[in-house]
Structure 1
Amino acid sequence: MTFYAAGAALGLMLGVIATPFAAQGEDMGKPIVLAHAIANSYGSDWKCRQGFRRDQEACLEIRIPDHADLSGSDFGSGWECRYGYAAKGGNCIVVTVPAHAFLDPFGDSWKCERGYIETDGQCRSIALPKNAYLADFPYGKGWECERGFEAKNNECVALALPAHSFLTTKGNDWACDRGFHKQGKTCVDAKVPANAYFAETTSGPAWKCDRSFYSNDKKCIPVTLPDNAHLDYSGNDWDCNRRYRKQGDGCVVQ
């Protein structure tokens, strides 16, 4: 820390603010005088006084528009609009709140009251169809269908549940009972063969073979292990032991 910076820092500790701040320059040790600057409480750097912001090696005055105050931040414009105003084009413009709306917690925009939805800068009443309720978040339609109904053409239509099915958790769709799988608009028997178990799948058979069996023609066939082989990671096929490699239906030394 230079003599001048140390003196400024000492002044801060004693409650005395020196103006202007002097930093040591490269020109034969002569100090460079910085207007509206003060020494940091640590190190040898400096910062600008309140109401000014650093621009390279100078402190420029922050121009505060009407209905704004200093933000106290070294980033951004250095000012922020008061509650009920929004920054636009370097100014603070009053926020016009339409009917059935309220200022948000930040005070620079508005939200519609429950039961209304924003449309073209206004709050429009949400038209609830039969068997519907207001959504928690006023986005999209602003409503959701009751459990057991699905949205179609701005209406809530009752779900047609096929045999061996049940409503999903959300209540606007259905799934098949265990042991059945979805096929079009019906639930069909998975027909799990011997040595297999039911498995939820989006395609193919709704079952998987037990370990040491493999699927073939809708059946589960035992896996035949050749010498020097073991079941692979799936349990439904085999791999050769170390030092061996597959050749046909057997394992040979590499």
Structure 2
Amino acid sequence: MNSVYGNKWSCDRGFRRNRNGCVPIAVPANAYLTPAGDQWNCERGFRRIKESCVEIEVPENGYLVDSTYGDSWKCDRGYRADRNGCTAVVIPEHAFATNTTYGSGWECERGFREVDGACSQIVPPENGFLSDSTSGSGWDCNRNFRPVDGACVKIVPPEHAYLSGSVYGSGWACDRGYRAENETCAAVVLPDNAHLDYTGNDWECTSPYRRQNGACVLE
């Protein structure tokens, strides 16, 4: 084959250059020439050891994977690699096997949570329900209730307040023009030349006045 570079020639497919000539490529059993035709790779299910292709021994309950690095096989779902074999994962009651290669290899069913290697049933309190979260208590409170010491306590907004829908804090917020003080909503007192700010629970001075010591003054 002609080449526009170097000495104007290259070896045919299946041969490699050796000084000023071409020598045939010795392709071992269970191997094939690469697309370029000047190297060889092992077939799937075999790995290269020196100048030969040796069959990959896949253990029981394992399968071949196409990997350039690391192991050339993995264990089936429900099994974990143990030296040169695949050992069954011990799955507790109310759990199922996962495909992960880390952790316990299993997860608890919905409505259960892992406690000391077992799956313990989650029992939501009155006015609570099971959540889809894998962390925390595993349950949430119904609307208008919030969690307090393992129970769901009804949210009772004070006067001039409304239910905020938030699962954090008090669960209520003050109406515009009021601010939270302890467990009540106190009216925001506007000084002269001031108006409510965008939050609705504080005030700011009307231009050109500036806030100073609780009043609006001209500078």
Quick check: 1:140 aligned with 2:136? yes
Per-residue deviation at 1:83?
A: 3.1
| 2:187 corresponds to which of 156, 180, 189 | 189
Gaps of 5+ in 1: 8-21, 224-254
Q: Indicate the residue corresponding to 2:89 in structure 1.
A: 95
Shift of 1:175: 1.7
Number of corresponding residues: 204
* Contact 1:165 1:175 (8 Å CA) reproduced: yes
Give the distance between the partners of 1:113 and 1:213, measured in 2 at CA: 62
Q: Secondary structure of the equivalent of 1:3?
A: coil
Give the 3-state SS of the residue equivalent to 1:178 in structure 2.
coil
Name the residue aligned to 2:56.
62
Matched AA of 1:81: C
Q: Does the alignment pair 1:155 with 2:154?
A: no
Q: CA RMSD in A?
A: 3.5
Aligned to 1:217: 213
Quote the Cα distance in structure 2 between the aligned partners of 1:129 and 1:212: 56
**Where does structure 2 lack aligned partners over 5 or more consecutive residues?**
2-9
CA contact (8 A) 2:33 2:41 kept: yes
**Aligned: 1:3 with 2:5:** no
Give TM-score scaled by structure 2 length: 0.72
Alpha-carbon distance, 1:82 to partner: 1.9
4+ aligned runs moved over 6 Å, structure 1: 25-29, 55-58
Query: Where do residues 58-137 of structure 1 align in structure 2 (5 Å cutoff)?
Result: 61-104=55-98, 106=99, 109-137=105-133
Structure 2 residue 207 is the aligned partner of structure 1 residue 199: no
Tell me how far 1:125 sits from its aligned partner. 1.4
Per-residue CA deviations over 1:203-231 (Å, capped at 9, x if unaligned) read xx8223345432123233356xxxxxxxx
> What TM-score do the two structures reach when normalised by structure 1?
0.64
Distance 1:163 1:37, change over 3 A: same
Alpha-carbon shift at residue 32 of structure 1 (Å) = 6.5
Q: Deviations over 1:120-162 (max 9, x none)?
A: 2211111221111111224322111222222222222223422
In 2, Cα distance between equivalents of 1:216 and 1:77:
71
CA 142–171 in structure 1, closer or farther in 2 if over 3 Å, else same: closer
Distance in 1 (alpha carbons) for counterparts of 2:69 and 2:119: 35
Instruction: Using the aligned pairs only, state the percent identity.
Output: 33
Name the one with the larger helix percent. 1
